[in-house]
Structure 1
Amino acid sequence: MQSLRSAARAISGRGGCAIVVAAIASFGCASGASSLPPAPVVAIADDREPRSRPANDGDAIAHRGKPARSTFAWETDERRARARARREGALLVVYLSAAWSAGSLAMEREVWSDPRILRHTAPLVALRIDLTDDGPDAELWVDRYGARAVPTTLVLDAAGREAARLEGQVSADEVLRALEKAADDDER
């Protein structure tokens, strides 16, 4: 093992990281280490990627007869989102979240990427409001929407009236029920 470390230091000093990895991997296999359970894989988020992106007319939307969206297209400008929802006669989903909220992070992973949500047939516009910075703007958003928990998800009908309110971390099933209820109420 000591000679392997010495070789690794000598090689890595000359830009041979790949060789070191290959040597360590072959050493592990040759020494019977293959009976060990595999090491867990850890994914590290790339902070250079935007947390949200504006809606793109090129996104496929199921209710227009195209394939379901592969990602949830979030608006980040409230005025534009409300205008678009009015223009399209669509539901408006308002999602107040924060990077420091475990519930928000869980919903990003489990709810907003759920295929059933992405394929939901009612036309909708999604607005994400980021409360990460605990400043005056965050307080204004919390007051404006009456949020008592982070995350908070509101579903507004085509007229802009609150049709459903979900506070805290909720499941995809709960969001789907809220969307279906709002769409049914909107049709009446």
Structure 2
Amino acid sequence: MENIDIGKKVEKYRKMKDLTNRELAALAGITPSMLSQIERGLANPSIQTLKVLAKTLDVPTFSFFMEETNTEALIVRSNKRKKMIVDNLSYELLSPDFTGNLASAILTVPPYTSSSEKLLDHRGEEIAVIIEGSIKIYLGEEEYLLEVGDSVKIPANLKHKWENNSNTVAVVLFSVTPPIF
């Protein structure tokens, strides 16, 4: 929380509402001088003042305490993806990392390869789409052949595995929540 600048957030919300310093001060019942000092980080507003500013700006009070998101850290360049190879299977992480509630990856399954010897389960729910080749998916006791464009939802704790029985590479784009591998 040390990187949070409440004054900058007040200023940002004020400008989003297209209000001048004087207009917001009048609406909130504080002096323009006090508002200016808050926005420049020279004065710390009381909780009561923050509540009044939040109500006037029509934002939740807690929004003044939220950390800014570094949007650059949300971008993953195709040549900078984190890659992991496990038993000839290649995983490329499309998400920046495993923080948050969702992770997406590309699974490349070489010809005549399966994701595991036996069906495995995990606590994460999964959605996958075949983007290249074809793949057999085992869901519990059932098996299905998926072609390019086909997708599947795999509920948490359902035993499953991927199997490529063809002579071409299969590529699967999948997302899992929570992000576990």
Fold-level similarity (TM above 0.5): no
In terms of Rg, which structure is larger?
A: 2
- TM-score, scaled to structure 2: 0.29
More helix by share: 1
- TM-score, scaled to structure 1: 0.29
